[in-house]
Every structure is written in C-alpha cells, then in structure tokens.
Structure 1
Amino acid sequence: MSSAFLKNETADAPVVIPARAPLPPGVTNYVTPRGLALLRDEMIELETEHAHLQASEVPDGNERSRQLALLNGQISNLNQRISSARVVDSHPQDEVRFGATVVLKTQKGKSAGSERRFTIVGVDEADASLGFIAFTAPIARAIQGKRVGDAVPLRTLQGEEILEITAIRYEME
C-alpha cells in the first residue's frame, strides 16, 4: 500500500501547505466586495484555530508543531492574497465585466436552447457549483465586454457552441 494512504507521517516529513486557487502570473487579483469579506472571514477562522492550537496542551508535540506550521503557511498565503486584492465595485451596467451576473442561452451546439446563469468573480470566490465563475475562466474571458444580444462562440468538450447574452446584472455590491 502506498504511504500516501497512511496516516503515519514521520515527525521530519515536510509540511505540505495546500495551494490556493491559481492566479496566473502578472494577473491582478480582482475581488468583489463579497469576495474580500469571505477572505477576511477565512483569515479570522484560521487565526482562531491557530490561537486555540497554541493554547492547547496536545500530548504529541510533533503533531502540534506540524499543525501550527500548516496553519502558519495557510495564514501567510492568505495574507498575500488579501494584500494583493483589488476590489472592483463599479461597473458599466450594459456590458459584461467583473462582478456581472450573466444569463446565456445556447443558440447552437449540443445543448441548444439551454440557459446558464453565473457571476464572474475572483479566483478565491469561484465555485462553479454555486454559479460563481473565476474571471480567468475561458467562458468569462469570452464574454467580457459583450452586451445583451451579442452572440459569442465558445469551444467546449462537446464542440463549438454559440452563446447569446440575454441578461446582465450587477447585484453583488
């Protein structure tokens, strides 16, 4: 059995800090006001967990040290992300930009006639299952700057689709 499936980590094994959502090099870390609030809430949670762990008397000092190192790394990564965040809270109401909630209707392709609704957000706030798509996603890049009624080609795994923008709203302020 691979050691990756075992919980038995040695005390000298390196601490692996989980990566945050990728932000391409040189790309500004745009966030919505909601996204910045979520980052700050996450920081409070991490700092609270860190304080509780520091105050606890865990019998296994090595495990406590590993957990503290992990939390320190996560806090450091989050601090970098928060400090680089640029809040976008003003928008042209008639075109797709960061923060827009967009409704698209598939005009051509396997799913012709279907509608999609999503909001363009920062990489840390993105969660496709909740309808939040990162501004770096191909579909978000394809529709930025477009207006209601515009048709946009998009290459997908199912082939090329033609998407019509049927609504644009800015509701996250």
Structure 2
Amino acid sequence: MNKAFTKETDSEDDEPALAPLPPGGKNYITPQGYARLRAELLDLIDNERPKMVEVVHWAASNGDRSENGDYHYGKKRLREIDRRIRFLTKRLEIAEISSPSVHHGSDQVFFGATVTYADDSGEERTVTILGVDEANSALGQISWVSPVARALLKSRVGDEVNLVTPQGVQLLEVLAVDYPAPEAAD
C-alpha cells in the first residue's frame, strides 16, 4: 500500500477525553483559572503554532521528508498543539465563571473555599476547592467533583461530614472556611 494512504497519527495522538463532570453538571472555574486557560490558548494560537508551522515549512523545504527528523518532530508537535487548542476551546466554551469572593466571610463551604478539616486520626489538612481544569493537588487544590470536596460542600465550621472511601466511611470535621476578599472596584 502506498504510504500516502496510511494513517499519520499514532494511537497516543488520539484526542484526550475531557475531564469528567457530573452528568448535567457545569464546568465551574474561578476568574483566575479562566484567565490562565485563556492566556494559554491565545499563546498557543498567536505564538507556538505559528513558530512550529514555520519550522515544519523550513524542514519540508529541505527535500527528502522520509528521514527528516525536524519535519517529523514538527508535524507531531503541531498535532499536539492543535489538540490542546481544541481542548482549551471546548473547555472555555462550557466554562461557568464563579468568583469565590462573593462568599467572603461565610462559614459555609462553597466552590472556591479554602477549607481546613481534621480526619478520624486528628490529622489536619487544608484544601482549596476549585474547577476541574484548574485544580492542582500538589498545591493543595482539589476539584469540586472530587469525593473530599463533595463531602465538604455546603457544610459549615464545626460540622462533621462522612467521606466514603474504599477503606470505609471516614469522619471529617470542618475546622475553618476561608474565601478570598473581594477585589476593590476602581
């Protein structure tokens, strides 16, 4: 078979599935998270992609493409950039911006809260409940659809909530709830 009729993408290049949202759920995101995703999208469109197109064009002009590493790497990187652009575009289209500062001063847990809680063993943890696309567990941020966030949502300081884990039900006590202060209007 002629190489022109073969599939160019590898199985690893298939478009990733969107992170899971509850059925009928919304893609909540903070204004800062939305701005970060939008900035990444614009950088890919305005900077990264044009540079890579230029590299691929230069590599293609060098002649034989079968052993041209720059060309093959450039085409693969271009597919990765295009996939990320599609992903970000879809996520930003369905994003629902929710500012956590509207709950400033509240002792109830809502989206955007920074919650300190103690588990059964008395170990204290502090987490911030953010959107699926912006949460980073290494920074103590969890997605609002995570089991811990689901257990904590709508509870208040002093409440005890049940967290269902594979090891059984764990009791969490809410110790503190904090929200960012509203930004001053200019």
TM-score relative to the length of structure 1: 0.81
Give the C-alpha shift of residue 19 in structure 1. 4.1
Which range is displaced more, 135-144 or 150-159? 150-159
- CA-to-partner distance for each residue in 1:50-71, whole Å, 9 max, x for gaps? 1111122234445433332332
CA RMSD of aligned residues (A): 2.2
The equivalent residue for 2:103 is 91
Bigger Rg, which one: 2
- Work out which of the residue numbers 66, 74, 79 in structure 2 matches 1:64: 74
Q: Structure 2: give runs of 5+ residues left out of the alignment.
A: 1-5, 61-67
The equivalent residue for 1:128 is 137
CA contact under 8 A between 2:116 and 2:126: conserved in structure 1? Answer: yes
- Work out which of the residue numbers 66, 84, 87 in structure 2 matches 1:77: 87
Task: Measure, in 2, the Cα distance between the counterparts of 1:120 and 1:148.
Answer: 15
- Work out which of the residue numbers 19, 42, 45 in structure 1 matches 2:40: 42
Which structure shows the bigger proportion of residues in helix conformation?
Answer: 2
Whichever residue aligns with residue 49 of structure 1, its letter is E
- CA-to-partner distance for each residue in 1:95-146, whole Å, 9 max, x for gaps? 100000000012x3xxx11101000000011111111100000111111111
Overall identity of the aligned pairs, in %: 39
Task: Measure, in 2, the Cα distance between the counterparts of 1:84 and 1:37.
Answer: 14
CA contact under 8 A between 2:107 and 2:176: conserved in structure 1? Answer: no
- Work out which of the residue numbers 14, 20, 27 in structure 2 matches 1:16: 14
The equivalent residue for 1:53 is 52
Q: 1:160 to 1:84 in 2, by over 3 A?
A: same
Give the C-alpha shift of residue 159 in structure 1. 3.2
The equivalent residue for 2:30 is 32
- CA-to-partner distance for each residue in 1:130-166, whole Å, 9 max, x for gaps? 1110000011111111100000111224432211101
Question: How many residue pairs are counted as aligned between the two chains?
Answer: 160
CA contact under 8 A between 1:17 and 1:70: conserved in structure 2? Answer: no
